[in-house]
Amino acid sequence: MSRLTLYAEDKPGQPLLRTEDAAEISARLASISVSFERWASPVPVDPDADADTILAAYRPYLDRLMGHVGAGSADVIKLTPDHPQVVTLREKFLREHCHTEPEIRFFVAGSGNFVLHVEGHVYDVYCVEGDLIGVPAGIPHWFDAGTAPRFTALRVFIDTTGWVPHFTGSDISTRFPAS
């Protein structure tokens, strides 16, 4: 089940809010311009299928979403514990960064935490299969799928060159609970 845990940035061990209510998650995130939706799985697809099969299965939904946000492309990202670069990728994802374009992700399978650092607060958004999250350009965040990550997600891009991470240099991600 999706979950939002909210902290003051200087009190990582003391949640201010924890909710699994999708409407409340969406409303809280909307207040910082982050979009969040729960989708009933629109198509049956094996998360172990290859990227082309997954993209084809979700194409009608992707086309609608991409048209809505002005995106130009989408891809599939998968990470499993046996991935040859799992340690390197996890370390990269765990460093606070931002992008010059929105980060839009739909979870086909598995889960992960998008952790947003905004206006003195940390919003830990635990996303699961069927969750769509849209993080606007410029919002500092990190992503944690745990030490044994297992997820398959669609990523939507306006311009893939805008998705390059710009690391903030902050160590805030080391002070908050890791998955």
The boundaries of the domain holding residue 85 are 3-168
pLDDT at 159: 75
Specify the residue for token string 């990227």. Answer: 51
Residue 175 domain flag: no
**CA nearest neighbour of 139 among 33, 38, 37, 66:** 33
User: Six-digit token pair at 114?
Assistant: 């998008």
3-class DSSP state for residue 93? helix
Residue 176 domain flag: no
Residue 177 domain flag: no
Q: 114 - beta bridge partners?
A: 125, 143
**pLDDT tens digits, 83-130:** 999 999 888 899 999 999 888 999 999 999 999 999 999 999 999 999
Residue 174 domain flag: no
- Report the chain's C-alpha Rg in angstroms: 15
Which residue stretches of the chain have pLDDT < 50? Answer: none
For 172, which DSSP code? G
> Based on the structure, what is the number of domains in the chain?
1
pTM: 0.92
Residue 52 domain flag: yes
Separation of alpha carbons 115 and 106, rounded Å: 16
> What CATH number does residue 25 fall under?
2.60.120.10
Residue 178 domain flag: no
3-class DSSP state for residue 5? strand
